[in-house]
């Protein structure tokens, strides 16, 4: 039986980044966090900011958030 460790099962996929961005955007609109805090959280999650609307994942995929 091939059982994966917890670290092997846990990874953030593109859909997770999209959902995270939506939640963080709502939090900024509600003034719960600042735009800088939003950017910091996205960066900590594994995205690198390319421009105001574009972020790149570790695998090279580019995400565009409006």
| Pairwise CA distance, residues 31 & 38, whole Å | 11
- The pLDDT assigned to 7 comes to 57
Mean pLDDT in residue range 11-40: 97
pTM above 0.85, yes or no: no
Give rounded-to-5 percent helix, strand, coil for the chain.
45, 10, 40
- The pLDDT assigned to 2 comes to 58
- The pLDDT assigned to 6 comes to 58
């Amino acid at each position: 039986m091939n059982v994966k460790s917890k670290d092997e099962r846990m990874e953030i996929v593109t859909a997770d980044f999209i959902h995270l961005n939506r939640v963080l955007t709502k939090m900024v609109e509600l003034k719960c966090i600042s735009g800088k805090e939003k950017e910091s959280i996205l960066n900590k999650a594994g995205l690198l900011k390319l421009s105001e609307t574009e972020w790149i994942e570790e695998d090279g995929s580019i995400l565009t958030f409006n």
